[in-house]
Amino acid sequence: MNRNKIKYLIFAFLSALIIYINYTPAIKSVYQTPNYYKFFEGEKVKFNFNLPLKVGFYTDRQGIVKINNDESGNNILNLDKPFSVETLNCGKVNINFRLFGIFPIKSIYVDVIPTIKVIPGGDSIGVKLNTKGALVVGYSDIIGTDDKIYSPYREGKIQIGDIILEINNIKINSADDITDIINNQKDTMITLKISRKGNIVYSKLHPVLAKDDKKYKLGLWVRDHTAGIGTLTFYTEDKKYYAALGHAITDIDTGDILSVNNGQIMKSKITSVSKGKRSSPGELRGIFLEEVDTIGDIEKNTEYGIYGKIINPIGISLKPIPIGYQSQVIEGPAKILTTIDNTGVKEFDIQIIKKVDQKNPNQKGMIIKIVDKELLDKTGGIVQGMSGSPIIQNGKLIGAVTHVFVNDPTKGYAVYAEWMINEMENLHHDENVFKN
């Protein structure tokens, strides 16, 4: 047999072996593990693949992690037994898996960071938000004093979702400001400064004198504030920055995220519960008094909740606990903290029935199911007003409730806590907000 044929047979054999190895169920299960893990400094995590494989673990840096108490960076382990990964120092390291220590099958990137601790919430809060400018939510034609129908918004090409920031260089803080300005200007052309999908545009149009009340109008329905009930997720022990809701406050008509001019969160007293049913989401109903019960200010309204600083104590005395990142979340039992009556924050059982590995922020990181009998009896599951309820697993705050499934109120979505942490850090990037 000539040398070329031998080389060909060896190549074919090795290729077939690699293909076979890569497609065996055991190897495929290793492939399905996340490519990225974030751990706290000093943390010890156990893994159990329960697979009949011998795998080599090789790290590209020493002193960051040790595997099964070995810091050498070269470990050959049988995956049919549990093993541990312990973090030693902050830093970043790649861990390469090689079957029998030879064939590369997986690479995992590990980021070791300082421990972040927060005080979990669960308190029911009232939320009042005043928008920056006035949000256009609808149109209305005007009957003029000459009995003709006018649509001045058409002249200005105003769109639903536009935010009117200024009229003739005068700042708009409320809907009443628009009425006052255009009636002082009377029938002269006005210039609107508008925020449209994040871009600034200018528009000119003529207000019309209405026949019914003799006032000048633009033919626009606008909104300048909103209010409702939600749940506090967590706050920092030292500087008292808070996070709540887990999702944005949006306009009920346009669905747009409302910009913040100013706002407050307040202590809320639950007055009643509308139980959730299939195709009919339930609701927590409550009352709050702005003059008496203000807790803090709203500084930011984002896709992942509202953020600000607590001004007055809120009366809960829970101890700080670590944040858990998505790589530390496991499908299975967990708890939520929430308020459904006037007995205060309570802990309820849930199941995390699915987790989604996310490289980029998204509100739908986990699917959860309420399994606590008391909570099911009182609310039917997840109801409006529970958004922001913190989720606790293995002593860590791992996320917050965000949405309910309309056709099954026992189930809903949750956002990972790390995306809420990112939002808070972005808001106060020049401060150490998690100093404990």
372 is catalytic: yes
Could you tell me if 361 and 146 are in contact, meaning their C-beta atoms sit under 8 angstroms apart? no
123 is catalytic: no
Could you tell me if 87 and 63 are in contact, meaning their C-beta atoms sit under 8 angstroms apart? no
List 123, 162, 203, 247, catalytic entry: 247
List 111, 251, 349, 372, catalytic entry: 372
Q: String of b and e for 36-73 (b: at least 16 CB within 10 Å)?
A: ebbbbeeeeeeeebebebebbbbbeeeebbbbeeeeeb
- Determine the residue type at 327: S
Could you tell me if 340 and 346 are in contact, meaning their C-beta atoms sit under 8 angstroms apart? yes
174 is catalytic: no
List 327, 387, 389, 403, catalytic entry: 387
How far apart (Å, rounded) are the C-alpha atoms in residues 333 and 301? 31
The tokens for 229 are 């009930």
Three-state SS sequence of 383-423: CECCCCCEEEECCEEEEEEEEEECCEEEEEEEEEHHHHHHH
- Look at the block and give the residue holding tokens 């049919």: 80
> Kind and range of the H or E element at 48?
none
> Kind and range of the H or E element at 75?
strand 74-78
How far apart (Å, rounded) are the C-alpha atoms in residues 112 and 393? 20
Q: What residues act catalytically?
A: 247, 372, 387
